[in-house]
Amino acid sequence: MISLAAAYGETGIADAGQSAGVVARYARFADYHDVLGRRLKSLADFVNQLGGEGTRSLWYVDTGPLLERDLAQRAGLGFIGKHTNLISRRLGNWIFLAEIITTLEIAPDAPEKNRCGSCARCLAACPTEAITAPFQLDARRCISYLTIELKGAIPVELRPAIGNRIYGCDDCLAVCPWNRFAKEGAMMKAHARPELAAPALVELLSLDDAGFKRRFQGTPMLRTKRRGLLRNACVALGNTGDIAALPALFRANRDPEPLIAEHAQWAVEQIEARATSASSSLTFRNLQQLVGCKLLTVIRNFGADRFDLLRRDWRRVISPLLILTNKSQDRGNIIIVRENGCSPGQHVIVERLATDRNWSRETT
């Protein structure tokens, strides 16, 4: 058995921001199965030539029923960390593993011993507490499993912890101190896809099947299929998005794929809840986003003696108007909107405010 490691190194932390998703670093390249597979085929052929007639070799790159981390540790490539992944003293955590099974007799290398010591950073870093104890992982809670391997709905109780991660998670790997030795792999560098690091979430929701395949052809992200990636994008928007994402989520809520529609509805509810809770102290800028149509003015913290005067003046100047008022004792807010400037989807947000117990509605 020949065990091999290929570094993909530090690609930098994506500056995702509020409107973008985060993709695991290994997936920010062309599909490693293809890239490594071509090299492994050539290497396996070389091993066969080295062994002479009758030598047989088979290569694998995350494609066969092999305990590759255990084999890599026994071959001396690295040791299995408390996060259950392989750590190389020379390459850190950012490595792909591959194997060649051969009939050629080769002298074995010495196995690597564990070098975690008392460090437990990876356990503390896991957002979902999937690392239940050193060297023990509950895969059902792991974000990499939830966003890639899981084909159905993501458990509601785990969605908030996913944040804006849409394909995999690097948190337990990134905090490992052995990464100070990580190197950028020359082989994978040529296949980097930097545009995959932080894709715009709303843009992802606009992809149909053909568009999804065109965008992610030849990358690991094709594995989730459209339904899985858009499911993940909805969760990310539900966790980090603002009201500007609602029109796209309303459309996703009508997607013929039930998995996408359900997660879009959840995301809408999360964003609306945040918007409603902040409605009594909205700024002019936030209200422009919230209403999404022709917002004419916001008058905040007015005195009770001025309320009737302000409302009368705006009635006289512009009509029709939707006036939403928020009053707390003798102070409050007025939102004045040109009602016919809103789309049906945007009216939903206006209506949410208009029917909230802290607001009263008047249409002129």
Q: What band does 304 get if pLDDT is binned at 50, 70 and 90?
A: very low
Residue 297 has pLDDT above 60, yes or no: no
Q: Is the dihedral of CA 352, 355, 360, 364 positive or negative?
A: positive
- Residue 331 to residue 154: CA distance in whole angstroms: 43
Mean pLDDT of 304-331: 43
Which pLDDT score, from 0 to 100, does residue 274 have? 80
Split at pLDDT 50, 70, 90, the class of 268 is confident
How many helices and strands in the chain, by DSSP H and E?
Answer: 15, 13
- Is 170 a residue of the active site? no
26 pLDDT above the threshold of 90: yes
**pLDDT score for 11:** 53
Distance (Å) of CA 357 to CA 67, 109, 275, 279:
58, 71, 14, 11
Q: Does pLDDT of 194 surpass 80?
A: yes
- Give the closest residue to 6 by CA, choosing from 186, 168, 220, 167: 186
Q: Are 320 and 364 in contact (CB under 8 A)?
A: yes
Distance CA 60, CA 114 (A): 25
Average pLDDT, the chain: 80
Determine the longest span between alpha carbons in the chain, in angstroms.
100
Stretch among 66-80, 97-111, 328-342 having the lowest mean pLDDT: 328-342
d(CA 73, CA 235): 36
| Residue 120's pLDDT band (cuts 50, 70, 90) | very high
b/e code 234-261 from CB counts within 10 Å (16+ = b): bbbbbbbbebbbbbbbbebbebebebbb
| Of residues 140 and 289, more confidently modeled | 140
What is the pLDDT, as a whole number, of residue 47?
96
Whole-number pLDDT of residue 326: 46
Confidence of residue 18 (pLDDT cuts 50, 70, 90): low
Q: What is the mean pLDDT of residues 70-74?
A: 96
More confident residue, 259 or 330: 259
Which residues are within 8 A (CB) of 114 and not within 5 positions of it... i.e. 6 or more apart? 79, 80, 81
pLDDT confidence tier of residue 17, bands split at 50, 70 and 90: low
What pLDDT, on the 0 to 100 scale, is given for residue 302? Answer: 39
Residue 17 and residue 210: Cα distance in Å, rounded? 27
Range name among 156-165, 236-245, 270-279, 292-301 with the lowest pLDDT average = 292-301
How many residues are recorded in the chain? Answer: 364
pLDDT, residue 16, reads 57
Q: Residue 114 corresponds to which tokens in the numbers above? A: 């564990």
| Alpha helices (H) in the chain, listed in sequence order | 32-51, 68-74, 121-125, 143-144, 159-162, 171-174, 186-189, 201-205, 209-216, 225-240, 246-252, 258-277, 284-291, 304-317, 344-355
Is the pLDDT assigned to residue 284 strictly greater than 60? no
Distance CA 88, CA 8 (A): 13
**Does residue 310 have a pLDDT over 90?**
no
Question: Is the pLDDT at 331 greater than 70, yes or no?
Answer: no
Predicted local distance difference test score (pLDDT) of residue 50: 93
Given 31, 62, 170, 356, which residue is catalytic? 62
Q: Computed from CA positions of residues 173, 178, 179, 183, in that sequence, does the dihedral angle turn out positive or negative?
A: negative
> Is the CB of residue 287 less than 8 Å from the CB of residue 295?
yes
End-to-end CA distance of the chain: 80
Please state, for a pLDDT cut of 70, what percent of the chain lies above it: 73
Which is more confident, 114 or 296? 114
Q: CA-CA distance, 115 to 98, in Å (whole number)?
A: 22
* Average pLDDT rounded to a whole number, residues 288-300: 41
pLDDT of 280 over the 50 cut: no
User: Average pLDDT, stretch 132-151?
Assistant: 97
Judge whether residue 281 has pLDDT over 90: no
Residue closest to 88 by CA, chosen among 204, 195, 197, 180: 180
In which band, very low, low, confident or very high, does the pLDDT at 184 lie, cut at 50, 70 and 90? confident
Give the pLDDT confidence score for residue 28 in this predicted structure: 94
Q: What percent of the chain has pLDDT over 90?
A: 61
Q: Shortest CA distance to 255 belongs to which of 190, 205, 215?
A: 205
Residue 242's pLDDT band, with cuts at 50, 70 and 90, is confident
- How open is the CA angle 4-25-81, to the nearest 5 degrees? 55
Check if the beta carbon of residue 324 is closer than 8 Å to that of residue 353. yes
